[in-house]
Structure 1
Amino acid sequence: MGKATGFMEYTREKTKERNPITRINDWKEYSAPLSDVALKKQGARCMDCGTPFCHMGMELEGATTGCPINNLIPEWNDLVYHGRWKEALDRLLKTNNFPEFTGRVCPAPCEGSCTLAINDPAVAIKSIERTIIDKGFENGWITPRIPTKRTGKKIAVIGSGPAGLASADQLNQVGHLVTVYERADRPGGLLMYGIPNMKLEKEVVKRRISLLTQEGINFVPNTEVGKDITAEELRKNYDAVILCTGAQKQRDLEIEGRQAKGIHFAMDYLTTTTKSLLDSNFRDKHFINTEGKDVIVIGGGDTGADCVATALRQKCNSVIQFGKHPQLPTSRTPDNLWPAFPNVFTLDYAYEEANAKFGEDPRQYSIQTKKIVADENGEVKELHTIQMEKYKGEDGRYYFKEIPGTEKVWPAQHVFIAIGFEGTEQSLLNQFAVETNNNRVKATYGEYKTNVEGVFAAGDARRGQSLIVWAINEGREAAREVDRYLMGSTLLP
């Protein structure tokens, strides 16, 4: 612990963000790192707890608490305070394969369980993490780590999201020959197409893919298992297969008028927008354009927020986001005690932008869409809603009921459904004949084995829709189990 009184002397400094009105005119990242001087002070705020809850990595009260990949946070905080950036990078890379991703898009459950956060704002862990890895690339500290020996064992990884990349990285480093199959035209999975450019610029993703390729991993894009190559071929040609396909089956909204034109799944909107941006800077027009339109996003999560931010950059006429839950409180409630993730009100980047553009937060709370109405051409023109009241039943569970007299009609020419994911797509799982449970691959956490010999599963395909840090956690652990399966023992963590 470099400065024993640092947490009393320095206040938390928020990551720098570009002006909201300025940044909605481009697709560059909205945030920027703090200065070295500022980050040294942020590192000094770390208390070097005897029991550092920040890297405990578990689920508490239905949410992630602490870092699932068990980052050695107090150690690299202290190294940053002392200006020993390269050593901080070495400590960071011991547990995290891709800090450049988590440092940008992870919701930072580590900060929610920071001991300092009991009474004061948490240590700026995420900002420090991002800067450590960015400095690593900028200073040439990160170079290809090419294995000196190969085992001759061949492994196929299906899906190139964070779980697939983490497992591929780990297995390649112990000398196995790894091939990653991706059905999209660019590797990266949701990192490439599901997360908008303003949160994660794609040069960051491509840089990592390039590095992994130099290290010996073979990426095969534009290849859909079951269509371009069969599961039988993969099992025949590889010693092991890992399913890291994600939870891509989007949950639909089954209400009157759903068939109207102009209603899209959120992920389709985000994917086509990013692909068009990368392919042609939107010149190909192969995207859903909301310019001059009234936009409604149904679903109150991060994917919905990304839709809000995307519509703003397309110069929509208005944008509203519907959420079924009440507005969160500004501070922890008695049933949401530390170190559980703080369920408190925050102003995410998209909402800050909408507020700057239109003068109000775009979120509408405790609202339910009753029906969708189309015009004479079948195009969506309005949504009918009613306010809901959340209450606790006699059984202790929470329920919702409609509030009479709160009906309202909202104009809309584009509607995006962002109410989550049901699980992974069944066609591929049927190809491998793996057992499933609630649209997820049935494989025990920590073991990752399916019912099919030599076939493993990790990430959202196994656990359901979750965080990037859980995907990396499972990718790393699945790699360990595959290595053990192939070699009889393993040195992987």
Structure 2
Amino acid sequence: MGKPTGFKDYKRETTKEKPPIERINNWNEYTKRLSDAALQTQGARCMDCGIPFCHMGIEIRGTAAGCPIQNVIPEWNDLVYKGHWKEALQRLQMTNNFPEFTGRVCPAPCEGSCTLALNEPAVAIKSIERSIIDKGFENNWITPRIPLHRSGKKVAIVGSGPAGLAAADQLNHLGHKVTVYERADRAGGLLMYGIPNMKLEKQVVERRIKLLQQEGVKFVLDTEIGKDISPKVLVSRYDSVILCTGAQEQRKLRIDGSEAVGVHYAMDYLTGVTKSLLDSNFKDDLAIDVKRKDVIVIGGGDTGADCVATAIRQKARSVVQFGKHPQLPKTRLEDTPWPQDPNVYKLDYAYEEAKAIQGEDPREYCIQTQKIISDKDGCVKELHTIHMEKILGEDGFYYFKEIPGTERVWPAQVIFVAIGFDGVEKSLPLQFGVTVTNNRVKASARDFKTNVDGVFVAGDARRGQSLVVWAIKEGRAVAESVDEFLSSEVKK
């Protein structure tokens, strides 16, 4: 490394955040880049550790450890430190199709596995990654790369989320003609409608879609396979089909009163708000509006946090988020040793904003929703809860036990259900005739082949709800498998 003692000489500094009171008044990204000089300093903190666990990309106990797409992080950190930004971009693009997405929305498991993170704040990998790709676009270093030769083979990809886009990008550069089908009116899938604008501005997604189009990828929007075009017809038109439909079957809230007016799925809320913002800057009045309402978000994950941030921007009267697990520890515990993700308490952007407005973190921990009460018109009026304790049973498993006397009634006019996803929407895979097991399309991570010849699957549809970076990894891997399949077809 260019600065062997950089990790001792400099302190960690990450992407700057706009003040909460300022940023909640608009829907723009809440972060802004560090200066080039500051980023070079951060690159200098990347130590010559010998074995860089930051890019090992494995799963430990079901969570990512290191970068799943094996970004060669130390190399581009060093290049940034030396001011060689264009070379750093070239290294980054070797492994990551869309650094502008991961540099904004990835939880950065690479940082949890950074060797420096053993006893010091990790290298600011995510901030550096985003800055490399943003500078690449700003300096016009990123231009359309149009394949010189075409194979004559055609591939259809169903779904334009990160897995579908990565597969399309890879296969296009291998010379195949790629068509991506998307049932929504804009391409991007989760990136477009599942992640709020303040985390990922949609012009960033649209810029990448435009680049893919310039390189030869065709997008067919507002077209639902299985409804507008039958799977049988699709298979007959193309040499191969890849299902990248995601895991969009939202988990239902199964308690009394859950059918009341005012109870919504979180993704329906986030999608509607983003679409209304893009279509008309909210002039169409089609988005769910929580202005001057008491909002409760059930579910303690990132989707729930995005609901909190969205409701804050809509000027909700109050926002509370329920989670069934205890508050995370502030430091790494023994049961999450390095290089695992430390899984520690953070005041993420949404909670920082809610705290600035309401005076406290909006999260309630170890809480169980018991029932929802409606008024005479069938609209949500209040929500009843009880607190729980997490105990270790004699069998070695953890259980939740209700605590008598902790019952509480919460006023609410709007409730968002953000308790995860059950898996793939089954109707389309069944029309293709592929096997669905445990709510996932069955295929191995070795070749991504389904039981139907020529039909492949990747992303959340195969592995279940996961991170954007895992979807990109699967998209790249399925493209390699499809290319091998198409090559073998030519030989026949």
Q: TM > 0.5 between the two?
A: yes
Instruction: Give how far 1:446 is off.
Output: 2.2
Instruction: Give how far 1:61 is off.
Output: 2.1
* Pairing of 1:9-20 with structure 2 (within 5 A): 9-20=9-20
TM-score normalized by structure 1?
0.99
RMSD (Å), alpha carbons: 0.9
Instruction: Give how far 1:321 is off.
Output: 0.1
Q: Which residue of 1 aligns with 2:376?
A: 376
Instruction: Give how far 1:476 is off.
Output: 0.1
What do residues 362-417 of structure 1 show as CA deviations (whole Å, max 9, x unaligned)? Answer: 00000000000000110001000000100111111111010000000000000000
Instruction: Give how far 1:282 is off.
Output: 0.3
Q: Which residue of 2 aligns with 1:181?
A: 181
Q: Which residue of 1 aligns with 2:480?
A: 480
Q: Distance in 1 between matches of 2:380 and 2:117?
A: 46
1:337 aligns with 2:310: no
Q: Which residue of 2 aligns with 1:204?
A: 204
- Write the letter of the residue equivalent to 2:473: N
Q: Which residue of 1 aligns with 2:100?
A: 100
Q: Which residue of 1 aligns with 2:141?
A: 141
Q: Distance in 2 between matches of 1:262 and 1:298?
A: 13
* Pairing of 1:376-415 with structure 2 (within 5 A): 376-415=376-415
Instruction: Give how far 1:48 is off.
Output: 2.9
What do residues 430-479 of structure 1 show as CA deviations (whole Å, max 9, x unaligned)? Answer: 11010011111000012100000000000000000000110000000000
* Pairing of 1:118-133 with structure 2 (within 5 A): 118-133=118-133
SS where residue 488 of structure 1 aligns? Answer: helix
Q: Which residue of 2 aligns with 1:254?
A: 254
Q: Distance in 1 between matches of 2:232 and 2:61?
A: 41
SS where residue 146 of structure 1 aligns? Answer: coil
What do residues 204-237 of structure 1 show as CA deviations (whole Å, max 9, x unaligned)? Answer: 0000000000000000000001110010011000
Q: Distance in 2 between matches of 1:76 and 1:489?
A: 38
Q: Distance in 1 between matches of 2:61 and 2:436?
A: 25
1:150 aligns with 2:150: yes
- Write the letter of the residue equivalent to 1:69: I
- Write the letter of the residue equivalent to 1:328: L
* Pairing of 1:53-68 with structure 2 (within 5 A): 53-68=53-68
TM-score normalized by structure 2?
0.99
Instruction: Give how far 1:489 is off.
Output: 10
Instruction: Give how far 1:259 is off.
Output: 1.1
Q: Distance in 2 between matches of 1:236 and 1:488?
A: 18
* Pairing of 1:283-432 with structure 2 (within 5 A): 283-432=283-432
- Runs of 4+ aligned residues of structure 1 deviating over 6 Å after TM superposition are none
Q: Distance in 2 between matches of 1:358 and 1:37?
A: 37
SS where residue 373 of structure 1 aligns? Answer: strand
Q: Which residue of 2 aligns with 1:273?
A: 273
How many aligned positions are there?
490
Q: Which residue of 2 aligns with 1:443?
A: 443
Q: Distance in 1 between matches of 2:399 and 2:14?
A: 37
The answer to whether the Cα contact below 8 Å between 1:184 and 1:221 also exists between their aligned partners in 2 is: yes
Q: Which residue of 2 aligns with 1:37?
A: 37
Going from structure 1 to structure 2, the CA distance change for 1:195 and 1:254 (only over 3 Å counts) comes to same
SS where residue 75 of structure 1 aligns? Answer: helix
1:455 aligns with 2:455: yes
- Write the letter of the residue equivalent to 1:137: F
The answer to whether the Cα contact below 8 Å between 1:483 and 1:489 also exists between their aligned partners in 2 is: no
Q: Distance in 1 between matches of 2:478 and 2:96?
A: 15
Instruction: Give how far 1:488 is off.
Output: 3.0
Q: Which residue of 1 aligns with 2:224?
A: 224
Q: Which moved more, 1:43-52 or 1:266-275?
A: 43-52
1:238 aligns with 2:238: yes
Q: Distance in 2 between matches of 1:431 and 1:221?
A: 20
SS where residue 381 of structure 1 aligns? Answer: strand
What do residues 45-98 of structure 1 show as CA deviations (whole Å, max 9, x unaligned)? Answer: 001321110000011122110000000000000000000000000000000000
SS where residue 64 of structure 1 aligns? Answer: strand
Q: Which residue of 2 aligns with 1:465?
A: 465
Instruction: Give how far 1:334 is off.
Output: 1.3
* Pairing of 1:77-92 with structure 2 (within 5 A): 77-92=77-92
Q: Distance in 2 between matches of 1:438 and 1:417?
A: 22
SS where residue 404 of structure 1 aligns? Answer: coil
- Write the letter of the residue equivalent to 1:287: A
Q: Distance in 1 between matches of 2:321 and 2:394?
A: 31
SS where residue 94 of structure 1 aligns? Answer: helix
What do residues 265-301 of structure 1 show as CA deviations (whole Å, max 9, x unaligned)? Answer: 0000000000000000000001100000000000000
* Pairing of 1:163-174 with structure 2 (within 5 A): 163-174=163-174
Identity of aligned residues (%): 71
Q: Which moved more, 1:117-126 or 1:48-57?
A: 48-57
Unaligned runs of 5+ in 1: none
- Write the letter of the residue equivalent to 2:59: E
